[in-house]
Amino acid sequence: MSDPNPLAGTPRRTRDQVADLHFMDARYKLLDLAAFLDRLEKASGPEDHRVRGLRAALPLLLSAGDDRVAQILHLWSDPSVAPIEKADTKAASGVWPGLK
């Protein structure tokens, strides 16, 4: 990973200032996520691999550090390195299906 290289001239901010700018945005997103999990609770059938991946990412939100987004994206990434022979779809699902 690259060395930290902060943008010159980025203003120093207090946590209050960051909260003033972005708290309401984060608040509604968290409530939407909670509502999504509630909705799943009421549905039937086995757990979808994408939802499994989402649940696996939740503990990372509470971990220390300032690279949670990268950690979650790494968690959801296909870990293989070789090209595949043929794809059965053009689309990606959002979470590597092999994630346990």
Nearer to another protein, 44 or 80 (CB): 80
Does position 35 interact with another protein (CB under 8 A)? The reply is no
Cα Rg, the chain, nearest whole Å: 18
Phi, psi dihedrals of residue 68, rounded to the nearest 5°? -65, -40
3-state SS class at 24: helix
What is the total count of residues that contact another protein (CB under 8 A)?
38
Query: Could you give the CA distance from residue 35 to residue 12 in angstroms, rounded to a whole number?
Result: 35
Query: Could you give the CA distance from residue 36 to residue 18 in angstroms, rounded to a whole number?
Result: 26
Does position 46 interact with another protein (CB under 8 A)? The reply is no
Least distance (Å) from another protein to the CB of residue 44?
26
Does position 24 interact with another protein (CB under 8 A)? The reply is no
What is the contact surface with another protein in residues (CB under 8 A)?
1-2, 4-11, 13, 21-22, 25, 67, 69-70, 73-74, 76-81, 83-87, 89-96
